[in-house]
Every structure is written in C-alpha cells, then in structure tokens.
Copies of this chain bind each other. A is one copy, B any other.
Amino acid sequence: MVAMERRDPEQDERLRSEIWEALYDFFMAEHERNLEAVAELGVSPGDLKALMRLAPGRGEPMRALADMWRCDASTVTWIVDRLQKQGYVERRPHPTDRRVKVVALSAEGEELRERMLRRLYRPPAVLSELSPGELAALHRVAARLAPPADQ
C-alpha cells in the first residue's frame, strides 16, 4: 500500500506501537492461560518464577537468590522453605564457607521445571498457521529480540 522507501519517523512510531500492542495482548493472554495451567499442578506464580530462575545442575547461595530476585533475605528463606517442603529444592553446604547454604533443584525439582518449561514454551496454535515466509521473518525478529547470551 505504502511505498517501501518511505521513512516517516512518526509513522514508524505508530507502526511499532500497533505491533507491540497486538503482541503484548497476545502474550499476556497466553501467559494467563499458562499460569492457570501450572496452578492446577499446585505451582504458585512465585514457585514458578523461582523454579524458572534456578538453573538445573547448578546451585546458588541464598544471598545470590535474594540479589537475583531483588527481595529481602528472609523472603528467600520463606520461598526456599516452601519449595524444600515440597521436595523441589535442597539446601547444600558451601564447600568453603560454612555460613552459606547453596540451594539447588532436586531431581523432582528439575523434572517439574522441565514440565513447566514445556508448558510455557508450547507454541500457540496460531503459529502453525503462519506461512513459511512469515515464520522465517518472525524467526529473524525473535533472534534479534533474544537477549545477547551472556558470554
């Protein structure tokens, strides 16, 4: 409809807004459905967030979790307590500093995390309806949006 070489900044801005609104609405709706689905597995939004942010096979000191989650140390105690009672994480001693407790996913925790990820990352049906060209374009965009893999 519009000449491709046109670069009106104001119009570009409107286009970006229109795109972002549509995508945002779509993602929020998907996310809400996902939260309901994981809730049915007895996983609270807080549990989910914590589970997602614990790298499998690698433990983190409580202190590091408080920094990562930007909350109080005692909040971490509370959250980890709950996850531990459910058997999803373990507190392990730090090899050199006996003050530190290293929190790591248990086998059950890793399994649950996997299941959650499969649910969250399940591509919505509409994605299957896109043409190969659209899919390729979206792929390039997604690659651009993805945060630069930290080192």
Binding site for B on A (CB under 8 A): 4, 7, 12-13, 15-31, 120-124, 126-130, 132-135, 137-147
A22 B134 Cβ-Cβ under 8 A? no
Which residues of chain B are within 8 angstroms of A124 by Cβ–Cβ distance?
Answer: 20, 145
A17 B146 Cβ-Cβ under 8 A? no
Residues A27 and B23 in contact in the complex (CB < 8 Å), given A123-B16, A134-B137: yes
Complex CA gap A145/B21 in Å reads 11
B24 A147 Cβ-Cβ under 8 A? no
- Closest residue to A21 on the B side, CB-wise? B121
Which residues of chain B are within 8 angstroms of A121 by Cβ–Cβ distance?
Answer: 17, 20-21, 24
- Closest residue to A134 on the B side, CB-wise? B141
A147 B17 Cβ-Cβ under 8 A? no
- Closest residue to A13 on the B side, CB-wise? B123
B143 A22 Cβ-Cβ under 8 A? yes
B130 A134 Cβ-Cβ under 8 A? no
Name 16 extra pairs, CB < 8 A, besides A17-B123, A20-B127, A21-B121. Answer: A7-B132, A12-B135, A15-B139, A16-B123, A16-B135, A18-B142, A19-B127, A19-B138, A20-B122, A20-B124, A23-B27, A129-B144, A130-B141, A137-B137, A137-B138, A137-B141
